[in-house]
Amino acid sequence: MTVVNPNVRDEREQYAFHDDITYLRETKAGLTEATVREISETKDEPAWMLEYRLRAFKHFEARAMPHWGGDLTKLDFSKIVYYRKPSEREEKSWDDVPDQIKKTFERLGIPEAERKFLSGVGAQYDSEVVYHSVREDLQKLGVVFMGTDQGMKEYPEIFKKYFGTVVPAEDNKFAALNSAVWSGGSFVYVPKGVDVPLPLQAYFRINGQNTGQFERTLIVVDEGASLHYIEGCTAPNWATDSLHVAVVEVIALPGSKVRYTTIQNWSNDVYNLVTKRAHAHAGATVEWIDANTGAQLTMKYPGIYLLGEKAHAEIVSVAVASKGQHQDTGAKAVHLAPNTTSRIVGKSVCKDGGVATYRGTVKVAPGATGVTTSVRCDALILDEGSRSETYPYIDIQEDDTSMSHEATVGRVSDDQIFYLMSRGMTENEATNLIVQGFLEVFTKELPMEYALEFNRLIRLEMEGALG
């Protein structure tokens, strides 16, 4: 019995469309050294970047596929198109964005959002950033928010100083792949002491069939500054595999505060293999607020390296795995300095045969005295055939660490359902409400508009869960 809640419209269809666009430039499917050279040449990059890409490509080729995590056996690198350029350049005015692309983003509600409550918006379409804008007053204060390609050209000192320092090209196979063929992503710089009052938002869209999107985001928040960055992702369902391999590097300089929020809602044919990592310097706070509801396979473990004394890390990671999905997500906190603190909360829901994995690491290195860290990860399994896995790694090498870890796995309790049903809800509505409550730890961290949107997404995921 599926009861359709009149308040819930299934708008996934809305994101499932695709444009028949003629790309200005695209590489042939498959990846060779020539592809890497071609991308670099198209972008007219400095020589050092080409060298960096080639070094990364060599490592990518030499490195074995990870044999843990999700099933990557069906991922065929030779079928992917590594670069697709939809427009001539990154526009600052929405009116200048090519019509067809503009329409796409307007259907997705951008830049409507910008006018309402954002400090700036960026939009990436396949391989290239098509639009970026920042509120004028922030621009005057020196806040930089632009495509990473453009950032490399306009701010070479900041770019070269930090690029690849948090996630080196040799970090893992997919970081190497991204380093070889990266294109687009956001480059953000917030100068000393500047507080960006409203979030900056980036929107990532994969349009083309078999497209690989390899955005590269570099965020540098200078001493005492603060930033909230939000990203959202969608793609049409092509029923052939697309690949999203991003690298995100965040540098939180002393005393700064950075929050990075992701709502990942790729279509169910996307491999989402992302390396996200932050360096938190003395007294800095870094927060990853990460939700994964889409993609066929997600492997993503946002990490924070606490490099300076009294740095704080906060990671909230939620995942919903439905039919045909494997959400292999988690968190990583590496304490390298004294008196650093971290808190990790992981919540996952699996249903209709989905697999939700929590994979997390807490490490306290020798010398990192007075560390306090806590991990809480909970999972809900809604039906038989779904699977929940929990793999926490706790590696402590200092004697005065205070670490606690707790995890539970369970189902939605019959008592709770019964209670809500006796108050007039259908079983489905009751389950929805309980799942929403379970994930509230994430929702409450979002700006209100996003929270409403996320709850709607969850309701959609849950519709018919009890069928």
Q: How far is the CB of 68 from other proteins (least distance, A)?
A: 5
Please, which of residues 310-369 interact with other proteins by CB under 8 A?
366
Question: How does DSSP assign 40-78, residue by residue?
Answer: HHHTT--HHHHHHHHHHHHHHHHSPPPSSSS--TT--GG
Residue 122 phi, psi (nearest 5): -130, 150
**How far apart are the C-alpha atoms of 466 and 434, rounded to whole Å?**
13
Tokens 């490509």 belong to 57
**How far apart are the C-alpha atoms of 228 and 189, rounded to whole Å?**
12
Q: Which two tokens stand for residue 359?
A: 């994979």
Total of residues contacting other proteins (CB under 8 A)? 35
Q: Compare residues 150 and 372 and give the one whose CB is closer to other proteins.
A: 372
Q: How far is the CB of 397 from other proteins (least distance, A)?
A: 5
Count of all residues that appear for the chain in the document: 467
Q: How far is the CB of 22 from other proteins (least distance, A)?
A: 45
Residue 26 phi, psi (nearest 5): -150, 150
- The residue within the footprint of other proteins, chosen from 20, 44, 384, 415 (CB under 8 A), is 384
Q: How far is the CB of 366 from other proteins (least distance, A)?
A: 7
420-429 contact pairs (CB < 8 A, 24+): 426/3, 427/1, 427/466, 428/2, 428/3, 428/5, 428/462, 428/463, 428/464, 428/465, 428/466, 429/3, 429/5
Q: Compare residues 32 and 372 and give the one whose CB is closer to other proteins.
A: 372
Sign of the dihedral defined by the CA atoms of residues 447, 449, 455, 461, in that order: negative
According to the binding rule CB under 8 A, does residue 393 interact with other proteins?
Answer: yes
- The residue within the footprint of other proteins, chosen from 108, 409, 425, 451 (CB under 8 A), is 409
Please, which of residues 132-161 interact with other proteins by CB under 8 A?
none
CA distances from 104 to 99, 130, 221, 234 (A): 9, 12, 31, 11
CA distances from 244 to 296, 388, 390 (A): 11, 24, 24
Q: How far is the CB of 340 from other proteins (least distance, A)?
A: 15
- Per-residue binder mask for other proteins (CB under 8 A), 29-68, x = binder: --------------------------------------xx
Q: How far is the CB of 461 from other proteins (least distance, A)?
A: 17
According to the binding rule CB under 8 A, does residue 401 interact with other proteins?
Answer: yes
- The residue within the footprint of other proteins, chosen from 400, 419, 437, 452 (CB under 8 A), is 400
According to the binding rule CB under 8 A, does residue 383 interact with other proteins?
Answer: yes
According to the binding rule CB under 8 A, does residue 413 interact with other proteins?
Answer: no
- The residue within the footprint of other proteins, chosen from 142, 406, 419, 449 (CB under 8 A), is 406
According to the binding rule CB under 8 A, does residue 427 interact with other proteins?
Answer: no
Residues that bind other proteins (CB under 8 A): 67-68, 366, 379, 381-411
